[in-house]
Structure 1
Amino acid sequence: MRAEVADDILRTYLHVRDGGGVDRIEAGQEFWPALAAGKLPHLDAGRLMSAFTFIGAWETWERHPAGEELVMLLSGEVMLTLEQDGGEHRVLLKSAGDYVLVPTGTWHTASSHVESTLLFLTPGAGTEHRPVK
């Protein structure tokens, strides 16, 4: 199979289906609200590869009961905070390519003091969110 044209993971996410197929998904402003509202149930199977750029602290914690999530730094510097063993465990991602495998079902959030981009490979089924206090 020939490669098509280059794509940008910040604009076009990838759904890696169970069984090995991959679908492109436009990452417009409607995507995340539709996903959170359960309007994209076909994404529950497999994993979603996505990326976004941010600065500051996330407004929510999240967890993924369907499997581990890969969180990889593409640029900037990010403090990833995981709730583990009754406390908060912090991991600093400071070089492009640094990554963490967030354990199944572990609440996590992130913050950055500089513009940063993270890449995610997420098992989406059953994902939960709660506000950061």
Structure 2
Amino acid sequence: MARAFTLQDTYIHLKPDDSAWTLEGGAHFWADIAERRDLDHGRLMGASDQSRDWDHWERHPVGEEILTLLSGEMELVLDAPGGERRVVLKAGQTFVVPRGIWHRGIVKEPGRLMFVTPGAGTEHRPVDPHAAARRD
């Protein structure tokens, strides 16, 4: 029987055949994300609390990522060709991160972020704390 759930605890895999499968979400989901092959096709939808700045950059080489800030305020930093770009998101606003662009989040006011992201190929790199301190 179907049940209601939160996008924080349960993610949705939106498959290319237009089906939607639920997956257990949360921190343990991301622990082996680089090895997962079940997400190679389609998109992943979920939500996460935003209480501190991201400690990593990420990019999605196979498609755009849709970020909707449900509550709070954050600044997205994009490492774009031609230089860094910053976009402030307030509650209720959405931003489409272009394919292949490194990005990270700086939390201005804690809140919750909903994401719809390509399932395959996501890459991460650490934030250089010294470089971030010079720019932020």
Task: Work out whether the TM-score is over 0.5.
Answer: yes
For 1:125, the equivalent position in structure 2 comes to 120
Q: How many residues align structurally?
A: 128
Deviation at 1:54, TM superposition (A): 2.0
Question: Which 5+ residue runs of structure 1 have no aligned equivalent?
Answer: none
Equivalence for 2:3: 5
Match of 2:105 in 1: 110
Mapped contact 1:82–1:108 kept (Cα < 8 A): yes
More helix by share: 2
Counterpart in the other structure of 1:89: 85
After TM superposition, the runs of 4+ consecutive aligned structure 1 residues lying more than 2 A away are: none
What amino acid does structure 1 have at the position aligned with 2:41? Answer: A
Q: 1:35, CA displacement in angstroms?
A: 1.3
Judge conservation of contact 1:15–1:43 (CA < 8 Å) in 2. yes
Unaligned stretches of 5+ in structure 2?
Answer: 129-136
Aligned-residue Cα RMSD (Å) equals 1.4
CA contact (8 A) 2:14 2:42 kept: yes
Residues 83, 7 of structure 1: CA spacing in aligned structure 2 closer, same or farther, 3 A cutoff?
Answer: same
Does 2:20 align with 1:22?
A: yes
Q: What residue number does 1:53 align with?
A: 49
Q: Percent identity?
A: 45
Distance, in Å, in 2 between the alignment partners of 1:110 and 1:29 is: 17
